[in-house]
Structure 1
Amino acid sequence: MGGLQIVGATVVDGSGRDPAKTTVTVEDGLITENGTSGERLDADGLTMTPGLIDAHVHLGLSSPIQPQFSFQLSAAEIAADIFATASATLDAGFTTVRDTGGIDGGVVTAIAKGKVRGPRVLSCGPVQCQIGGHGYYGAEWEPTELWSSHHIPGLCALSMMSGNATELRSNVREAFRRGASFLKLCVTGGVVGAHDQLSDTQFTIEEIAVAVQEAASRGTYVTVHAHNSEGIRNAIEAGVRCVEHGTDLDEPTAALMAARGVALVPTFAVVEQLLHDTAGAGLGESTRDRVLGVRERMAEALAVAEAAGVRIGLGSDLIGPAQNRRGEELRLRAVLQTPMEALVAATKTNAEILGLADQVGVLAPGRQADLVLWNGNPLENPKIFADPANAIVVVKAGRIVKDLR
């Protein structure tokens, strides 16, 4: 891999420090202090940021949702949609993602081998849910045990269901066997739900603790899908490290999260998506009714978490075929916080949450050379993040993977 010298860009390094005009040198896929010059890339007038990180993606839900959930699509079509989304993710400036349920280990491997374009992927494999809980979309008449026979091992496996702690232990071991690098449990109902409400809690503290124990024994962690504070408290009590969504997070629970070092990943882009284009995701109008009011409550939860000192990452949670504007999440967060805070959440903080802080997330010597050159200054105009056409050059591990110059 040859060297690369990028000159003339305004560099926003992801740490929160003020932008500065500096030359960034890349050697052997890493950012170096003073590398020998290789290819010289003139980035005058462009803004450089670290490669963005999305901590909540669903590559495995890249097809229209209802046809996929009712098993009307071939494995070939599902695969084509997954790989198209992976490619679009890179084009939007995201060089690392954490897949929080839907893909099986084969997708991660295919991307890592370079057989298809895509970001670096960490995956939980199938989501762990309780029988009939969030993550189960079978028909009410269908026997529960038929659900997992719809999995396509190596490609797509939405969720595994457990009726008790023993079954959960077995299922999380199976998820790890199939390549999961962390676990995700659903501990409350969800917005895209079939059999539950947002106010429901799911899994007991004792059950969640089994997953935490299994993850800890492999040096990794559990994150949870959770909308209400009671479910979040159960999960914290059991020892999880991260909470997704957190829509109705209250102050005492936020304080507990901060005290225990539990991170939060709010997800605003999917809420906008389901409010404005429910059909585009392949979902019915009833989903839109469930999402009303969630945006305002999630914004409130973000402010509560911030005030409590919770570490707050960033995730889009986009589902269905329309996943090309992943940077919309930064634009939405920039309105609720500042553009710099949104960028730091999508780089440095997300890298910490994913356990990759020594590899990615900040532009510094010794880190992976993951970076994006943007057309203009997204700190002045965060809408730039939302349009993939503004990601002029994308570099992943020192290799130019997109170049619109």
Structure 2
Amino acid sequence: MPMWLVGATVVDGLGGEPVAGQAVLVEDGRITQVGGHVPAGAEVLDCAGMTLVPGLIDAHVHFGMSSNLQASVTRQLSVAELAADMFANCAQTLDAGFTTVRDTGGIDNGLAGVVASGKIPGPRILHCGPVLCQTGGHGHLAPEWEPTADWVHHEIPGLRAWTMLTDGPDAMRRNAREAFRRGASFLKLCVTGGVVSFHDKLSDTQFTQEEIAVAVEEATARGAYVTVHAHNNAGVRNAIAAGVKCVEHGSEIDDEVAALMSEKDVALVPTLAVIDMVLADVATIGLPAHIAERALTVRDGMINAIHAARRAGVRIGLGSDLIGPNQRNRGDELVIRSKVETPMAALVSATRENAEILGLAEEIGTIEVGKRADIVGFDVSPLDDPSVFADRERVTLVVQNGTVVKDTR
């Protein structure tokens, strides 16, 4: 049945000024009219006093890391507990107004499937399956004493698959094909060291251009793309030369590299919320104390990278990268980005620009006729008070695919 959302201020995600009192018509899961008069007798959802925005998108999540990481890596948790934590994470993500996420490593297609089927509540999930990383590189989380051959046994078929160890072009081709076989819609590679790493340095480069290019070739053959975890510019340059389309983190990106990214149409997804999470409470996540020292070294660089990317005209998405058991405040990334730039810039990154990066710009990301009806309502304007982005109690309405999945008006 057609449903009119009336009485709210609408922020369409395109970057223009909010429009007060604008009605939105939803039919068969899509937006079929924005503005106009509501006919007599129509089904009306009264949104008076609310601000409606497009469904939020988190372009960098790790649902497969929803438990204490140390306990998870060392098999101290049952599969039932791991699954319960992942299901709860999916539900609270949707409750926070995120109707779509891109999981950048850690889940098996089984999780995406049960959410899509409606068996558990959660956002629309695009995922890469297991991340492709080199032996001893970022993503190889095993302790030093564990034989490398044992790493594959950390996978839980149907639920979790963190990374596939990949060394050489032939292994890259085989593992890229395996990731797609398992349901991946894109590939993710780790091309530099990382913050949450046990066997490398942030200054390390990982994978050769030849190895990265093989992944790009396999992704292109399927109409997909490659994104890369990368902190240092040497790794970013290698990845761009090989043809990747997105960089995660990018904490060393400067004007020169940003210009190269713009020239090659490579997007950037900064991830600041996880840095603040690690700095605030590294133990709860299940990480050793020295990881916080690493996190401190990249925060300012990532902020500088955002400004350099903006100057160069790079498309900038938004990702939280939250890990561990406390992923309740996914909207923290928008709060931080509102301070780095503006609340409107943060919102557009989390909606229209993220939709473009995910390849879903024709379907989601804005409140426009023809788009899927993913709409979130806040009880006050997040443009006036960005703190509400991270307050689930202020998210009073969530519409996903035209269905009301949360209503606390």
Q: Give me the TM-score of the superposition, normalised by structure 1.
A: 0.98
Alpha-carbon distance in structure 2 between the residues aligned to 1:139 and 1:325: 29
Corresponding residue for residue 29 of structure 1: 29
Corresponding residue for residue 13 of structure 1: 12
Of residues 322, 326, 330, the one that matches 1:322 is 326
After TM superposition, the structure 1 = structure 2 runs for residues 341-360 of structure 1, keeping only pairs within 5 Å, are 341-360=345-364
Of residues 105, 111, 114, the one that matches 2:118 is 114
Amino acid at match of 2:324: G
Deviations 1:349-402 (A, max 9, x none): 000000000000000111000001101011011001111111100000000111
Alpha-carbon distance in structure 1 between the residues aligned to 2:384 and 2:154: 47
Deviations 1:184-220 (A, max 9, x none): 0000000000100111000000000000000001100
Amino acid at match of 1:194: F
Alpha-carbon distance in structure 1 between the residues aligned to 2:284 and 2:98: 22
Amino acid at match of 1:86: C
Alpha-carbon distance in structure 1 between the residues aligned to 2:183 and 2:149: 22
Deviation at 1:285, TM superposition (A): 1.0
Alpha-carbon distance in structure 2 between the residues aligned to 1:28 and 1:282: 44
Of residues 354, 367, 372, the one that matches 1:363 is 367
Amino acid at match of 1:11: V
Corresponding residue for residue 308 of structure 1: 312
Corresponding residue for residue 200 of structure 1: 204
Alpha-carbon distance in structure 1 between the residues aligned to 2:43 and 2:287: 47
Q: Secondary structure at the match of 1:344?
A: helix
Alpha-carbon distance in structure 2 between the residues aligned to 1:42 and 1:219: 42
Corresponding residue for residue 3 of structure 1: 2
- Asked if structure 1 preserves the Cα contact closer than 8 Å seen for 2:73 and 2:154, the reply is no
- Asked if structure 1 preserves the Cα contact closer than 8 Å seen for 2:282 and 2:291, the reply is yes
Corresponding residue for residue 128 of structure 2: 124
Amino acid at match of 1:333: R
Alpha-carbon distance in structure 2 between the residues aligned to 1:366 and 1:38: 20
Q: Secondary structure at the match of 1:292?
A: helix
Structure 2 unmatched runs, 5+: none
Q: Secondary structure at the match of 2:251?
A: strand
Amino acid at match of 2:372: Q
Amino acid at match of 2:392: P
Q: Does residue 1:162 correspond to 2:162, yes or no?
A: no
State the number of aligned residues. Answer: 404
Corresponding residue for residue 185 of structure 1: 189
Deviation at 1:58, TM superposition (A): 0.3
Q: Secondary structure at the match of 1:248?
A: coil
Corresponding residue for residue 92 of structure 1: 96
Q: Does residue 1:248 correspond to 2:252, yes or no?
A: yes
- Asked if structure 2 preserves the Cα contact closer than 8 Å seen for 1:127 and 1:184, the reply is yes
Amino acid at match of 1:67: A
Of residues 43, 47, 53, the one that matches 2:57 is 53
Corresponding residue for residue 267 of structure 1: 271
Please say which of residues 294-303 and 229-238 is displaced more in the overlay: 294-303
Q: Secondary structure at the match of 2:250?
A: strand
Alpha-carbon distance in structure 1 between the residues aligned to 2:377 and 2:141: 41
Q: Does residue 1:379 correspond to 2:386, yes or no?
A: no
CA-based RMSD of the aligned residues comes to 1.1
Q: Secondary structure at the match of 1:5?
A: strand
After TM superposition, the structure 1 = structure 2 runs for residues 71-90 of structure 1, keeping only pairs within 5 Å, are 71-90=75-94
Structure 1 unmatched runs, 5+: none
- Aligned residues with identical type, % of pairs: 58
Amino acid at match of 2:5: I
Q: Does residue 1:234 correspond to 2:238, yes or no?
A: yes
Corresponding residue for residue 62 of structure 1: 66
Alpha-carbon distance in structure 2 between the residues aligned to 1:87 and 1:280: 21
Structure 1 segments (4+ residues) deviating >6 Å: 34-37
Deviation at 1:38, TM superposition (A): 4.7
Corresponding residue for residue 398 of structure 1: 402
- Asked if structure 2 preserves the Cα contact closer than 8 Å seen for 1:318 and 1:326, the reply is yes
- Asked if structure 2 preserves the Cα contact closer than 8 Å seen for 1:126 and 1:160, the reply is yes
Q: 1:214 and 1:11, CA in 2 relative to 1: closer, same or farther beyond 3 A?
A: same
Q: Give me the TM-score of the superposition, normalised by structure 2.
A: 0.97
Deviation at 1:102, TM superposition (A): 0.2
Alpha-carbon distance in structure 1 between the residues aligned to 2:119 and 2:408: 22
Alpha-carbon distance in structure 1 between the residues aligned to 2:58 and 2:13: 14
Amino acid at match of 1:41: L
Corresponding residue for residue 292 of structure 1: 296
Deviation at 1:4, TM superposition (A): 1.4
